[in-house]
Chain A
Amino acid sequence: GQNIDQPTEMTATEGAIVQINCTYQTSGFNGLFWYQQHAGEAPTFLSYNVLDGLEEKGRFSSFLSRSKGYSYLLLKELQMKDSASYLCAVREEGGSYIPTFGRGTSLIVHP
């Protein structure tokens, strides 16, 4: 199984840049997902990485290093609405295509 670690909480200022890290241990890597979840709402898909490198999508970017078991989500030009929990999820090889979620990082954006 996987062991996924991400910080519990982060704070940042509106307009700034924040990087949310995720480390994982897995016997066979088959993709990493980032989801955003506002309080009391469903997670919504942000990004998917299966190869090393940076995937950019508007204000959000996600990076993956498979050899280091490491990913980060980069949020630029922070807005108040970005205050949410950010979930890192890892999928393993071997027949199961169900991603395992970390506990999430609660991001608080203040003026």
Chain B
Amino acid sequence: DAGVTQSPTHLIKTRGQQVTLRCSPKSGHDTVSWYQQALGQGPQFIFQYYEEEERQRGNFPDRFSGHQFPNYSSELNVNALLLGDSALYLCASSLFVGTGLNEQFFGPGTRLTVL
């Protein structure tokens, strides 16, 4: 049973460029959440997708956008990259059952470096 997968593993971009990160959820999961984790910090919630719609959004600018496909996989797009966007981007999958444990399974992350 494949867990959460993300691609690419590492990425180097320059300021002003655009980037697309990809995530495939754990088999059987229908919800994908994206997090940004700066060095030495905890993961910060960007947004969550369920049924191909953005359901929740954290405190991130519109430069951050996403998409979910019918097979539940998801993309995170960041436009007009800034140096401060350098971070580990984590994807987490779960079932959209709301409360209770509703455990999230994290992917290995994509390390984005903006020069």
Contact = CB atoms under 8 A, between A and B. Distances in A.
Interface of A: 4, 30-31, 40-45, 48, 87, 89, 96-104
Interface of B: 4, 33, 35, 40-45, 48, 56, 58, 90, 98-99, 101-109, 111
B56 A101 contact: no
A26 to B, nearest CB: 15
A87 B102 contact: no
A41 B42 contact: no
A42 B108 contact: yes
B33 A98 contact: yes
Contact of B107 (A42, A96, A103): A42
Which 7 A/B pairs are nearest by Cβ-Cβ distance?
A: A101-B42, A42-B106, A103-B42, A101-B43, A43-B106, A104-B42, A103-B41
Contacts of B4: 42
